Amino acid sequence: MDVLELARWQFGITTVYHFLMVPLTIGLSVLVAAMQTAWVRTGELRHLKMTKFWGKLLLVNFAMGVVTGIVQEFQFGMSWSAYSRFVGDVFGAPLAMEGLLAFFVESVFLGLWIFGWDRLPKRVHLACAWAFSLATMASAYFILAANSWMQHPVGVEFVNGKPTMNSIGAVLTNNTALAAIPHTLAGAFSVAAAFLVGVAGWHLWRRRSASDEHREVWRSSLRLGGWVGVVAFAVLAITGDMQGKLMFEQQPMKMASAEALCHTEKPASFSIIAIGDVANANCEDVKTFNVPALLSFLAHNDFSTEVKGVENLVSEYQAKYGTNYPDDPALGSLAGKPIDYVPSLPVTYWGFRIMIGFGAISAGIGLLALWLTRRGRIPGGRWFPLMVLGGIATPFIGNSAGWIFTEMGRQPFVVAPNPTGVEGMWMFTAQAVSKLTVGEVLTSLISLTVLYAVLGVVELYLMRKYIRGGVDAVMPPAAASSSGSGSGSGSDSDDSEDSDDQALSFAY
């Protein structure tokens, strides 16, 4: 392995790991705020219990997301300093907005929400919950605006070999970002919905006795998650179609790679599944099961559009962006070598299908859970908790596969060229890496991977602890009975089964 490959593995591992926490925080923060709104408006104790229980899990996940997210910013200086120097004038603005505006608001109002149960009026406290949840979405907006600029550079001019921003408005309203943001947020709600269905479904099955005092908490949570998951998948489908049409215009090689489309077709068929070695760019050994003309429709809203294949696009890319890397010692073994414009076809082809497939499975499980729990029903078979708990993983897998496809599909570029943008405005990934030794990058890669593994164990332990504890772990019975119509505070109680739960109750 060389420095470039190790640096890419490090960024991929830490980023995908961090993004496991991000969508759950975004989706769950809004749903918790909605639960608290229902409690403030109705005064029903079950809504307060829902807010307390899911709010505790939100806090654990948010804390772990902050810890793992810090590394992301440092990596630009650690392993990708050449990239940072190249895009710093553009990239710095949305990232600064995310840190100084969105994350600052998140932190302040989350703190007020955590410690304000006994101290703030109910509606002011509720406003803190909504401010925090909306700030998480604003944070996602600025991050996605930065990422979308890498996919489709706009709002810049080329000065002394570097992009210089001349319109922050163009960067923030990039059509790539405007399609990616609702798609990513829908993915976040899909994750949170599956989490609600899985955990609540397990508790509902486990405590299916009609006399269980928290039964309605789990039923309401499951059905909320089920409906949110179904709606989220519908939004994912619509916004995914928007992104596909932009991809056809802006990154045609990524679209061809997503289909392992080796040769130009008119009309182009959509491949449902392939049998054979999709890594072979001439497709001679690949057999696919296709839907005729569907890819043309996805690309351009008609059934006759030509979609260019990988082999044809390679020639076009070579004519536009060169056949060989610059003969620069900084590029190491790639200096002067031919440029491979074809991304990893197995990763892009199967990543695209894993994204769609697991998203559909997640929505299907949510819909099935809604049907099985209609009119007070609770399935009695042991397959039900296994189904809903297993369903928690499906949108996480779909989200991760989608991002891997998005980022690896634009290789060999770290800043993809805009076909209608500024001439020369792109950067090869091989040019972006820092001047480090293999040993230095390998040391940080191993260290961060081990650290993240430890943090993963900690998160799973805390999540399991509070999930198994249920409502009583965050809101002991004595506190619950005294706070149904009060300010919403839960006080410590000597009657709690687990005193450690209360010691770590985040001022609940």
**pLDDT per residue as tens, the chain (508 positions):** 789 999 999 999 999 999 999 999 999 999 999 999 999 999 999 999 999 999 999 999 999 988 888 888 788 888 999 999 999 889 888 988 988 888 889 999 999 999 999 899 999 999 999 999 999 999 999 999 999 999 999 999 988 888 999 999 999 999 999 999 999 999 999 999 999 999 999 999 887 765 567 888 999 999 999 999 999 999 999 999 999 999 999 999 999 999 888 889 899 888 888 777 777 666 666 667 788 899 999 888 889 989 998 889 999 999 999 999 988 887 878 888 999 999 998 999 999 999 999 999 999 999 999 999 888 888 878 899 999 999 999 999 999 999 999 999 999 999 999 988 888 889 999 999 998 889 999 999 999 999 999 999 999 999 999 999 888 877 766 555 555 434 443 333 333 333 333 323 333 3
Return the SS3 of 490: coil
pLDDT score for 507: 31
Determine the pLDDT at residue 487: 42
Q: Judge contact between 335 and 325, C-beta under 8 A.
A: yes
Could you give the CA distance from residue 204 to residue 356 in angstroms, rounded to a whole number? Answer: 29
The tokens for 210 are 């009609």
Residue 421 tokens, joined: 């943008």
What CA–CA distances, in Å, run from 5 to 2, 15, 82, 432? 6, 15, 15, 12
pTM, whole model, 2 decimals?
Answer: 0.89
**Cα-based angle 129, 359, 347 (whole degrees, multiple of 5):** 115
User: Hey, is 71 helix, strand or coil?
Assistant: helix
Q: Is the dihedral of CA 470, 476, 478, 482 positive or negative?
A: negative
Up-side HSE of residue 346: CA atoms within 13 Å toward CB?
5
pLDDT at 486: 41
- pLDDT at site 213: 74
Per the omega criterion (within 30 degrees of 0), is the bond before 252 cis? no
How far is the C-alpha of 282 from the C-alpha of 441, rounded, in Å?
Answer: 35
Distance of CA 404 to the CA centre of its chain: 11
Tell me how far apart the alpha carbons of residues 158 and 404 are, in angstroms, rounded to a whole number: 29
Which CA distances in Å does 498 have to 124, 135, 199, 464?
A: 31, 34, 20, 14
Count Cβ atoms within 10 A of the Cβ of residue 40 and give its class: 0-12 exposed, 13-18 middle, 19 or more buried.
middle
Separation between Cα atoms, residue 44 and residue 118, nearest integer Å: 18
**Angle at Cα 303 formed by Cα 302 and Cα 308, nearest 5°?**
95
Across-strand partners of 428?
413
Q: How far is it, in rounded angstroms, from Cα 48 to Cα 392?
A: 24
Contact by Cβ (8 Å): 388, 371 = no
Which pLDDT score is estimated for 508?
A: 34
Radius of gyration of the chain from its Cα atoms, rounded to whole angstroms:
25
Find tokens 């810890």 and name the residue.
67
Residue in the structure block whose two tokens are 């536009």 = 320
- Rounded to an integer, what distance in angstroms lies between the CA atom of residue 391 and that of residue 406? 24
* Neighbouring C-beta atoms of residue 100, cutoff 10 Å: 11
Q: What is the DSSP letter of 324?
A: B
Nearest to 232 by CA among 268, 259, 194, 262: 194
Q: What is the pLDDT of residue 77?
A: 82
